[in-house]
Amino acid sequence: MPIDVDDLEPLRKKPKPRELDSLSIEELSDYVANMEAEIRRVREKIAAKQSHTSAAAALFKK
């Protein structure tokens, strides 16, 4: 059975970096603020998942 090359492609491709040359300083500042907010949101989600994992581990160790 031959291998389909499409099966070897990752299911999610990394997004291309945003083109920044045409953005103004204000737009770049807004972009950075939005990215920082997204980073905070992701870090909060990581902390919540770690908390759930720790709680589950503690429950099963008893």
Is residue 47 included in any domain, yes or no?
yes
Is residue 48 included in any domain, yes or no?
yes
Expressed as residue numbers, the domain containing 32 is 24-62
Which one, of 10, 9, 35, 6, lies nearest residue 20 by Cα? Answer: 35
- The CA-based angle 16-19-25, given to 5 degrees, is 140
Is residue 7 included in any domain, yes or no?
no
| CA–CA distance, 34 with 40 (Å, rounded to integer) | 10
State how many domains the chain has: 1
pTM of the model: 0.65
Per-residue pLDDT of the chain (62 residues; tens, 9 = 90+): 567 766 677 778 888 999 999 999 999 999 999 999 999 999 999 999 999 988 888 888 75
